[in-house]
Amino acid sequence: MDTTEFLFLDNKHGAHNYQPLDVVLVRGEGVWVYDVEGRKYLDGLSAYSALNHGHCHPRLVQALTEQAQRLTLTSRAFHTDQYSLLLQRLTSLTGYDAALVMNSGVEAVETALKLARKWAYTVKGVALNQAEIIVANNNFHGRTITAISFSTEQLYRKYFGPHTPGFIAVPYGDSKALEAAITPRTAAILLEPIQGEAGVIMPPEGYLREVRELCTQNNVLLLLDEIQTGLGRTGRLFAHQYEQIRPDVSIIGKALGGGMYPISAILADRALMDVFQPGEHGSTFGGNPLGSAVAIEALNVLEDEQLCEKADQLGRSALAYLQANKTPLVKEVRGKGLLIGIELLPEAGGARRFCEKLKERGVLCKETHESVIRFAPPLIIDKATLDWALGVIVDVLREG
């Protein structure tokens, strides 16, 4: 079967909830993917940062295969060796006392929200069912009913009400607006250190420090969604480390599974995590031994191959190159590490057509919010390959 036949099957039998580029991938290795006709492409999206380690990393394949031959799933009704070892690895690496492991990113977000609400009622003393959580405009924390309830993107929420109450949205990057929204009912503030889905939006320098101070002063929890930005993507283990702060809850996912297996987690200290009691939260697959084994090795590779340091060095070089070679159609180039957004001017006619042209030149990227090209290759990329890809991007933008 060729690309046309596969696209026909997708269109005929699949839900039309995505609009992917017309490429059908069948194999991946490192930073490269191959389509059904054998054409080779650089993966410039990394499954929205889930593939920080690249495709089919040999150590992760080995960890997955070996564990799959021993024990893949048992409920949390029983302990498993791999889950215990993952908890130890996560806490030793991040400095938090405890972790609670789930599957998808949005599950981890929901877990953090439940923790914050129960803390508000049982510790802070907020009246039952009155807790509020402050979020930022243009946020993206997933697509469950609760997550879209506090989204400000109409496409995500318009036809899916009634919405979950208890959320207040304020402008991103505006600490004064955030401060004004805090009341005695405020349980937590939930933010992305960098808004990825919104177009790689960077907050003003010092913003996260100001938010941390406001949370401390007002007895409010700070929840940071590091699902896309965490585990090396921005050149640090967590993006919030650029501002030398520590949130009460760090939310991670995507790259935690090394591009092999869906796994996510929230990280918190003991006193806060112990707000949860047996039976109040859980998941059949959360913390399963197969996912745990893969996550342990993903964290080992992250350290052993110095992926944070690579993302920092290569990201600085990439940003400098793109900013120095900004074409007339480019409004702004921004990002941290290897999470880069190229925002186009309205006269460019949208980012989609440029992503289609890049595909024809062997680089796979994806538009976000219509006018931004998001470029986020695997962190294992070498400089020569990165330089080639950047050259292709600049050429395509120059051609218009």
Told to judge if 225 belongs to the known catalytic residues of this protein, a careful annotator would answer yes
Burial 305-341 (b: 16+ CB within 10 A, else e): bebbebbbebbeebbebbeebebebbeebbbbbbbbb
Question: Positive or negative CA dihedral for 345, 346, 348, 352?
Answer: positive
How far apart CA 305 and CA 288 sit, in angstroms, is 26
Tokens standing for residue 95:
């400095």
Q: Are 80 and 74 in contact (CB under 8 A)?
A: yes
Of 35, 43, 225, 248, which residue is the catalytic one?
A: 225
How far apart CA 295 and CA 53 sit, in angstroms, is 11
CA 268 to chain centre: 18
Of 118, 167, 248, 254, which residue is the catalytic one?
A: 254
Of 35, 43, 140, 336, which residue is the catalytic one?
A: 140
Told to judge if 140 belongs to the known catalytic residues of this protein, a careful annotator would answer yes
Could you tell me if residue 21 is left (phi over 0), alpha (psi between -120 and 50 degrees) or otherwise beta? beta
Kindly give the interhelix angle for 289-304 and 307-324, rounded to the nearest 10 degrees: 60
How far apart CA 66 and CA 68 sit, in angstroms, is 5
Told to judge if 254 belongs to the known catalytic residues of this protein, a careful annotator would answer yes
Catalytic positions are 140, 225, 254
